[in-house]
Structure 1
Amino acid sequence: MYSAAHAKRNGVHGKNKLAPLYLRILKSQSEWPDKDEFLDVIYWLRQLVAIIIGIIWGILPLKGFLGIVLFCMVNTGFVYIYASYYQQVDESEFGEGWEFAKEGFMTTFAGFLVTWIIVYTGIHANDSAF
């Protein structure tokens, strides 16, 4: 049985009913009883961050290895900070921090590259240094 304070803190409404997923994503220290659901959230947040970074890197004339390394650092750092500090999820339940780091990384990397290339080419195609 949940206490009123526990229900309010974790976004639980009624008896044993979790808050909708989007509210748990936005609310700090939400309850995640299903590990796969939290890993799905990590996956899709990582996809969103990758597209945003791809757009930013395309607008800025970032090229080459520097852009790739910065993407890896920002994307992995964002996921780690979200999971460990914002949601305060116990890493040991998910197989240490590597589970967060590798969850959907390659598909995210592909989405980032496609976005980065399209935006960069669309904006900087007529530049003389292209």
Structure 2
Amino acid sequence: MSSAGPAGLPDVDAQTPAVLVLPGPVAREEVAGLCADVRSLLQAGPAAVVVCDVGGLGPPGLAAVDLLARLQLAARRAGGRIRLRDPDPALPALLDLVGLAFEVEGQPEEREPPLGVQEAVEPGDAAR
């Protein structure tokens, strides 16, 4: 007699981030509930990332910046972070303008170069 194993692939499921879909413009009254959703998604699973699908937010503005800043703060307080999915092309630029850094799906992470790596000097470069 054989018994069925657990459903899904445990290693993959443990790495898969939760997804929070923001379907449209968010009213100020909804922000606290969305922050609570982010906290509960981080506490419910082993993943430390919540993917926020922001494709439906519409044109970026200060309301979207405020919402995302609050969601990121809620995620950090819960020990995680958020990653943006399908943002309007202007949204990352606006977030960068106000000094907020967010990961965006499909973009490589920005990291420091490894220690000990030297830049090559081209012949003819002026000495510093």
TM-score by shorter chain over 0.5: no
Structure possessing the higher relative contact order (Cα contacts under 8 Å, 6 or more residues apart):
1
Say which structure is richer in helix. 1
- Please report the TM-score for the alignment, with normalisation by the length of structure 1: 0.31
- Please report the TM-score for the alignment, with normalisation by the length of structure 2: 0.31
Say which structure is richer in strand. 2
